[in-house]
Structure formats: structure tokens, C-alpha cells
Amino acid sequence: GVPASLSRFRGALVAAVLGDCVGGEFEGAEEVPMESVLQHLNSLNDETKGNGILEYSDDTAMARCVVQSLLTHAGFNEQDMARRFSKEYSASPGRGYGSGVIHVLKKLASPQLSDVYQPARNQFNGRGSFGNGGAMRASPFALAFPDIASVKRFARLGAMLTHSCSLGYNGAVLQALAVHLSLQGALDLPQKFINTLITEMEEVEADEAARNDARILKEAEKPFCERLHRVRDLMDRSKVSIEEVISELGNGIAALHSVPTAIFCVLHCLQPQECFPESYGGVERTIAYSLALGGDTDTIACMAGAIAGAHYGIKAIPQTWIKFCEGAEDADLNAERLHMMYHQLSQGG
């Protein structure tokens, strides 16, 4: 692939925050007309307003913990990352966390805790969470580690601090892989991009725990691979309705029903389309389309934003959007630090 430029790092981290902030308006809505999406996004162009008035939610709050932890330790440290998650939650519990994960975050605060993975294992009668909370904060792993094995390994471990079901943590692996590939220009060849994701996930889902979870939850043998095949089928179609995307891929809070959907949003919006204003670039199209799906809009737009931002770079992101979204300027600064870490590690440092 092409060298991962600073612009791509900035695009990825900033567009993830924007997706979360602008997506919050529609989270949980069943139907979201494109007109309402465009009206909402249009309000971000009023230069007389702004200064972070759209607040970020749990997606960004936890991603910021991931970023700070990776930078502080120049690598993955599970104790530190777990501590940051619980501190962040107790400082700002009103960021819209999932109703299950808050129990993990409270237990992670205990000084007596010796195994930081244990609270997540106890969730949902010992099955663990399959929510998308691990995936929504997985993009920074792709921005910190240049080699694909580390991206997979640490995205998985980082997610397992709260999500011990493979349908949760493998969603994080898939999201981090998509950002990793996009960072290297892989979206220039969309068919190859999706085929590479399928090949990687074939290996990830061959794991015994993944097979067991899929069987218990009555999912396909390799659930993420199966969904990625659906993404590929939808990509090949000249016209796809919002309803078909929702029924084939989902728009819900489970990682399985949202990570492949986010990947589809990026692929579907690679070219201009009639439903978007002509002035829209790729990041704006991707975020607008993610919102129009309804459901878990902040998280789907956050994940799609990260993948799209890594492809188009910071130049594709409107300055006024950055001004309106809490944490977007911080994300831009952190992207520079992650870029440095990534290049140091790629030179064996």
C-alpha cells in the first residue's frame, strides 16, 4: 500500500468524533429521512455558531481513553486502559453508555481487582457482551500499530476489557482491520478491500471460542465473514434501498449488526450520488448515509467516519463541522501523536 500519511491519521480520528457527535441526534430513531439528515448537517455550516456544541458520547469518551493509554505506554497496557475507562465513566457517567457495560466500568474501579478481564467475563450470565462498545473504540489501534498482527491482537484485547463474547471483540478486530487497510490506500480498490477483510476474518473466526459463541447464539458458522459476503453482494448492486441495507446488515447495537454496516456505508459512498448535495465530499457522504440508516447512528457513523477519514484524509473534512463537535480538535492533535508512534514502531523503534 501507499505510505500512511499524517492527513489520513487526522482524517480517521477526527471523522470518528464527528460521526459520534452528529450521529447522536438520531440514535435509536427507527426512520430517518435523508432530508432531516441534510438539515441537521446543514446547521453545522453556520459559522456564527459552533465551538463544540454537539457533545460526544461514550464512543468518543472511550476512544480517547484508548488513545491516551496507547500513547502513554507506547503500546498496550491492559491495567492502564481499564483504569482509564472506569475513571472516565465515573467522571462523566452521562455520555450514553450501554446499560450492561456500566456494571463492568464500576467493577473496574475496584482497587482489589486482580484480573481486569474478569468483570467483562461475568456479563450476561457469563456469556459476555456482544454489543458494539468494543468496536466503537477500536480505530486507534490501527493508528498506533503498523503491523496487522498487532492491530488484530490489541484491538481484541482492548475490547475484551468490556466485551468477552467473540461477537463483541471480533467486531472490534474487524473495525480496526478496516481502518488499517484504509490507511494504506486499500479503498482505491474496493473489491480487493472487501476480499482482504473476508480473508482476514476467516482466520479470526476460525478460533474455537468464536465457533462456540456462534453456535450458542445461533448465528452463521463465521458470522462476520457471512455478513461481509452480504456487504460484497450489496456492493455489486447498482441500486440498494435503505430498507434492504437494514434488513441484510442491520443497524443495531450488536457489533454484528453494525460493524459490517459501517463498512458498507463507506463502500457505498465512494462515488457521488444524487441524494447528496454536489458540494459533499466522501466523508460528508459517508456520515450522512450512516445517519439515514437510523438505529445506532452515532456508533455506525463513528466507525464509518474512521474508515472514510483514513481514506480521504483531513482535507475532506469541513472546518465548520470540526468547530461544532466537542473533542474534534483534540482528536486532530492526538492523530499527530499516533502518527509519530506508528512510524516509530514501523522503523523498529
* Footprint on this chain of ligand F2R (rule: CB under 6 A): 27-28, 57-59, 96-101, 124, 127, 129-133, 136, 165, 253, 296, 298-299
Residue among 96, 185, 281, 318 that touches Mg ion (CB under 5 A): 96
19 or 309: CB nearest ligand F2R: 19
Burial of residue 333, with CB atoms counted within 10 A of its CB: 0-12 exposed, 13-18 middle, 19 or more buried: exposed
Q: Which does 146 bind (CB under 5 to 8 A by kind): ligand F2R, Mg ion, none?
A: none
58 or 200: CB nearest Mg ion: 58
58 or 205: CB nearest Mg ion: 58
Measured at the CA of 124, the angle between CA 121 and CA 126, to 5 degrees, comes to 40
CA separation, residue 6 to residues 92, 151, 335, 341 (Å)? 31, 18, 8, 12
Q: What is the Cα–Cα distance from 122 to 213, expressed in whole angstroms?
A: 15
Give least dist CB 297 to Mg ion, A: 7
Give least dist CB 281 to ligand F2R, A: 25
CA atoms within 13 A on the CB side of 291: 26
CA separation, residue 332 to residues 54, 59, 291, 316 (Å)? 17, 16, 23, 14
Residue among 65, 296, 313, 338 that touches Mg ion (CB under 5 A): 296
Q: What is the Cα–Cα distance from 334 to 9, expressed in whole angstroms?
A: 9
Show the cell assigned to 262.
Answer: 459501517
Using the rule CB under 5 A, is 50 a contact of Mg ion? no
Using the rule CB under 5 A, is 59 a contact of Mg ion? yes
Using the rule CB under 5 A, is 57 a contact of Mg ion? yes
172 or 338: CB nearest ligand F2R: 172
Are 298 and 57 a contacting pair, CB within 8 Å?
A: yes
Show the cell assigned to 211.
Answer: 465457533
Residue among 205, 284, 298, 332 that touches Mg ion (CB under 5 A): 298
Q: Which stretch binds Mg ion (CB under 5 A): 3-11, 95-103, 105-113, 239-247?
A: 95-103
Give least dist CB 48 to Mg ion, A: 28
H or E stretch including 243? helix 242-249
Using the rule CB under 5 A, is 58 a contact of Mg ion? yes
Show the cell assigned to 223.
Answer: 458470522
Q: Which does 200 bind (CB under 5 to 8 A by kind): ligand F2R, Mg ion, none?
A: none
Contacting residues toward Mg ion, per CB under 5 A:
57-59, 96, 296, 298-299
